[in-house]
Amino acid sequence: MLSRAALSSSRTLVPALGALGSRQKHSLPDLPYDYGALEPHINAQIMQLHHSKHHATYVNNLNVLEERYREALEKGDVTTQVALQPGLKFNGGGHINHSIFWTNLSPKGGGEPKGELLEAIKRDFGSFDKFKEKLTTVSVGVQGSGWGWLGFNKEQGRLQIAACFNQDPLEGTTGLIPLLGIDVWEHAYYLQYKNVRPDYLKAIWNVINWENVTERYMACKNVLSSSLLNLGICIHLAPVCWPTPITDYWKSCVQ
Ligand SMILES: [Fe+2]
């Protein structure tokens, strides 16, 4: 699969695509639960269409576009390469975002996070309720189609809320590492909640998989600790070891 790191900049995109001839195409990941498992909060019809039609379309389009990009790359056709990039961003973002989204949800979800994630939420937002209110407000307020996100700011080592339009991937457009994404495209809720997006937002908190969000947070936190340690080693050893080791660490933080 093309990683989020690979889509984050043209610098990494080109070498990743250059190796397409020898790698497998992207595929639709299985849901870790049944289509009806999130009822009554998100019904089975929404989940089936969302996963098997919408997400599948992003995957299929991404594979076609990557093939065309590879051909353009081989021909040295820069005009076509540039023309393909909005489609790669949209469909690559759609694949990345939904792959995260499915794991952020669980029939055993809801409630509040525990441990270090809860402490970080209290530190950065004041309380869990204030965090929930802010992410809800930001997500409801997305004009048109898009996503509300809880992300990890690796420069500041703290949590941050952001909104993204369309299928813009969080890391590729803001630099934040995605922890929790809320899909506010109408295809995510319209069949059950019609045009009342706030009701969908109210319901989705009942199926948030805090274990998954915590795993993502702890992975980023551990990478940050390792990076700081690595920075200390680099300063003592030689400038040539900077910044490659840290870049590798961050790549391991994303799926
Ligand atoms: Fe979606």
Please, what is the average pLDDT of the chain? 86
85's CB contacts (< 8 A; 6+ apart) are 10
Ligand 1: centre distance to CA 95 (Å): 9
Closest by CA to 157, choosing from 116, 98, 100, is: 116
DSSP structure class, residue 119: H
- pLDDT higher than 80, residue 12: no
- Tell me if the pTM is above 0.75: yes
% of the chain residues with pLDDT over 90: 77
Ligand 1: centre distance to CA 146 (Å): 9
Ligand 1: centre distance to CA 188 (Å): 5
Ligand 1: centre distance to CA 98 (Å): 6
Ligand 1: centre distance to CA 152 (Å): 22
Ligand 1: centre distance to CA 187 (Å): 6
- pLDDT value of position 229: 60
Ligand 1: centre distance to CA 102 (Å): 10
Ligand 1: centre distance to CA 224 (Å): 30
Q: Strands (DSSP E) along the chain, which ranges?
A: 146-153, 158-165, 177-183
- pLDDT value of position 230: 62
Ligand 1: centre distance to CA 54 (Å): 7
- pLDDT band for 223, please (50, 70, 90 cuts): confident
| Residue-wise pLDDT tens digits, 147-166 | 999 999 999 999 999 999 99
Q: Report the DSSP beta bridge partners of residue 178.
A: 151
Ligand 1: centre distance to CA 246 (Å): 32
| Residue-wise pLDDT tens digits, 112-145 | 999 999 999 999 999 999 999 999 999 999 999 9
Ligand 1: centre distance to CA 244 (Å): 34
- pLDDT value of position 22: 54
Ligand 1: centre distance to CA 176 (Å): 20
Ligand 1: centre distance to CA 243 (Å): 35
Distances (CA, A) of 128 to 81, 107, 134, 207: 44, 21, 10, 16
254's CB contacts (< 8 A; 6+ apart) are 3, 4, 5, 171, 177
